[in-house]
Amino acid sequence: MLFSPVVSGDPKAMFPDVDFAWFPLKNPGIISIPFGFLMGWLGTVLSKEEPDAKKYAELEVRSLTGTGAH
């Protein structure tokens, strides 16, 4: 978002007099959101951390019941 025309370089931008926009789309979420999911998946696949069944069971109970939420 910082390097899109919404922030700089466009007459309707937050900083119209400065141009540091190198990303051409006014809504970079169309690229950055799928990229973020892809990187999250890749990090999960490439992780060397072993699955922990006990932690997973605890997380499942907390997510379904709300136990431990503040």
- Higher-pLDDT residue of 2, 27: 27
Q: Amino acid identity of 22?
A: W
Helices (DSSP H) in the chain: which residue ranges? 29-46, 53-65
Which H or E run includes 19? none
Residue 38 has pLDDT above 90, yes or no: yes
Q: Which pLDDT belongs to residue 36?
A: 94
Distance CA 41, CA 45 (A): 6
Map out the domains of the chain as residue ranges: 1-70
Q: For 45-68, what is each residue's pLDDT tens digit?
A: 999 988 899 999 999 999 999 887
* DSSP-based three-state secondary structure for 8: strand
- The reported pTM is 0.54
